[in-house]
Chain A
Amino acid sequence: MRKIVRNAAPWAIGLTLACSGGLLAEPLQVRVGYLRLEEPPRAVLSNLDTVPADLGIAGARLGLADNATTGTFMGHDYALEIVSLAPGGDVVAAARDMAGQVDLILADMNAEALLSLADLPDVAGALIFNVSDASERLRDADCRANVLHTATEAAMRSDALMQVLLAKRWTKVALIEGPGGADAALAAAYRASARKFGVRIVSDARWDDTADLRRTASAEVPLLTQGFKDHDVVLVADAADDFARYVEHNTWVPRPVIGVTGLTPVAWAPVVEQWGAAQLQSRFSDLAARDMQPRDYAAWAAMRVIGEAVTRTNAADASALRAYILSDAFELAAFQGRPLSFRHWNGQMRQPIPVVNARAVVGSAPLDGFEHARNPLDSLGLDAPESACTAFGD
């Protein structure tokens, strides 16, 4: 029950700093690159939710501003260079240009492009933060030692959703799967998480995308859902957020619709306001004139991870920062009620997952009672024994 630490960690140096870094001869330069490969426009039914042009980038800018304030007291000078490529752009060429100037890179791109970036000899010594891609392979067999992930993996979110269902005893799920490959991958993640937590998929159906559901949902969705066995919720695997919104309130029996609409697990949402989150939300909306989205949060977190590591180590080179970030000493306060840190087996950032509806947070996973030998946050996503990643050593 008793515990006392007196400067036990090697990092806990008693750093007293003269103001404005007056004692430091030259400010430490911390240069970060943001490399984005834009996605082709999504063809979706609803025109309501547009994708902001500065998605992700605005989050990095806020993280830069947060770091810069701390930097003024530390004698650390932060800079952010942003490169955004049109869909199909040459990531490798852009990365080569960037590599000479920065060795800290926020990568906002799909998994293919990210791997082509990470495997470039020019950036072998760089530290790359994946701020956008959720796919399992990057945390599994296709992990890379020079890539850390502040984007959540899909399984972290599907696990969070299943924890909420289990806590509510809503354990009979009807699953509707969209027609795309990404929908199939999302459905697979839901199925795996359901197995992990003992939630049952009692019925499933495929949605085909030929009709305009904005006009026909009230006719078509009851038919689609009429044959479902007795179920507590309807879970929709709709990766592009295309048709799920038209399923809600159109089902044959009145059931909550969950997944990307209704009740949804996210890295961040406008309804997150506890743990000082309201401050982050207001700083972000002051800067970007819109709500903070999950990709913005991942980019903000990556910048703050860099800032925290630079502050504690007084270093700016990628290898020193990587070692500190992956050490037990690292923790980031990130407005989610628990310190964030990184998994030493695949470089994934641990974070709570808010499970939200449009107006409120319903729960923040890990929920009470979901334990883990290492850290309750590791009840979400790919755990050490499941991951085939070996790039990080043991």
Chain B
Amino acid sequence: MLRTFATALCLLTPPALAGEIWVTNEKDDTISVIDIETLEVTRTIPTGERPRGITFNSDHSLVFICASDSNAVQVMDPDTGEILHDLPSGADPEQFVLAPDDRHLWIANEDDAVTTVVDVETRRVVAQINVGIEPEGMAVSPDGKTVITTSETTNMAHWIDTDSKTIRANTLVDARPRHAEFIKDGTELWVSSEIGGTVSVFSTADQAPVAKIAFAIQGVHEDLIQPVGFEVTPDQKTIFVALGPSNHVAVVNAETYEVEDYLLVGRRVWHMAFSPDHTRLFTTNGVSGDVTVIDVVQGEPIKTIKVGRFPWGAATRP
């Protein structure tokens, strides 16, 4: 199972369980803040309407929240929970990614088939790029030169050049792509396809397909195995993939592209975030309204934490 991986982690220092997991509750217009040490919700913070994507800046002094139905990205002081200001986001922002320069926020506007680029300092829209229908997944390469938008109904990953802010290439993926990440120092792009039931891996140098990962869980019909969010371990060797209404998270070996294990979590699992030391993984379970805590070393779920209605995004605050 996870033995090699587990052994490697055991050599590390014992976990320093500090920090928080911030979870957006789509149907409560709140954020639940989970204390990683006590595994309890310590704060519930009101947000704009329908919060989904959430991310911190690199020094964690600010948190950005996609308030989809408020048509805004909200900027919050994580210490006080106070909304400092809204950023112009374009209509219906769902998901976003902050460039490594901490300056440009790239936002998927789900209802408008547009990716919006906002300068978070001047608070102005820098560019809007036409993409496919229902853009959702957003990723930025480690060198900051390429941003990916996936569009759910067009079934593509759009490769956007960040200097010219134009689309450089488009790659077809399976139906309803939801999430994208650059891994292995940016040499590979991984894209999950919810209805296709697969994760596609591309070589970023030439956008060529490298592998396509499918999933099979005993007793669950393949149509219900719907990959959504995924998270990568710091050594880039293991990828945890949330499988939606199959209520499982897959553990994928990033080197062999083989699925090594399936972990049972709550209902309709969406997105995930690691504890700062990467020994715990927190999954948002939309339908059951809770968060499952996975012990990464043992490869098993250890606790369920009740949060708000329809938890969606998750982000780590050390």
Contact = CB atoms under 8 A, between A and B. Distances in A.
Contacts of B221: 375-376
Interface residues of A, number: 37
A1 B216 CA distance: 5
Given A4-B213, A70-B156, A17 B208 contact: no
A6 B170 contact: no
A69 B223 contact: no
B170 A5 contact: no
Interface in A1-42: 1-8, 12, 14-19
A163 to B, nearest CB: 16
Given A3-B259, A4-B257, A331-B195, A69 B113 contact: yes
B78 interface: no
B223 to A, nearest CB: 5
A4 B134 CA distance: 28
Interface string A295-313: 0000000000000100110
Contact of A276 (B134, B155, B158, B196): B134
Interface string B202-235: 0000111101111111100101100000000000
Interface string B117-146: 000000000000010111000000000000
A283 interface: yes
Contacts of A70: 132-133, 153-156
A70 B207 CA distance: 18
A375 B222 CA distance: 9
A66 B194 contact: no
B245 interface: yes
A279 interface: yes
B111 interface: yes
B61 interface: no
A8 B212 CA distance: 9
Nearest to B136: A276
B258 A7 contact: no
Contacts of A332: 175
A282 interface: yes
Contact of B133 (A69, A337, A377): A69
A189 to B, nearest CB: 25
A331 B196 CA distance: 7
Contacts of B206: 16
Interface in B48-88: none
B153 A333 contact: yes
A337 B245 CA distance: 9
A229 interface: no
B312 interface: no
Contacts of A72: 130
Residue of A12, A16, A332, A337 contacting most chain B CB atoms (<10 Å)? A16
B209 A14 contact: yes
Contacts of B110: 279
B198 to A, nearest CB: 7
Contacts of B166: 19
B211 A4 contact: yes
B113 A19 contact: no
A17 B168 contact: no
Interface string B189-200: 000001111100
B302 interface: no
Contacts of B176: 276, 333
Nearest to A15: B172
Interface of B: 110-111, 113, 130, 132-134, 152-156, 158, 166-172, 174-176, 194-198, 206-209, 211-218, 221, 223-224, 245, 257-260, 262
9 nearest A-B residue pairs (beta carbon)? A14-B209, A333-B195, A333-B175, A333-B176, A70-B154, A16-B207, A19-B167, A3-B216, A338-B223
Given A8-B212, A377-B223, 8 more contacts: A4-B259, A7-B212, A19-B168, A69-B113, A73-B167, A331-B174, A339-B195, A375-B223
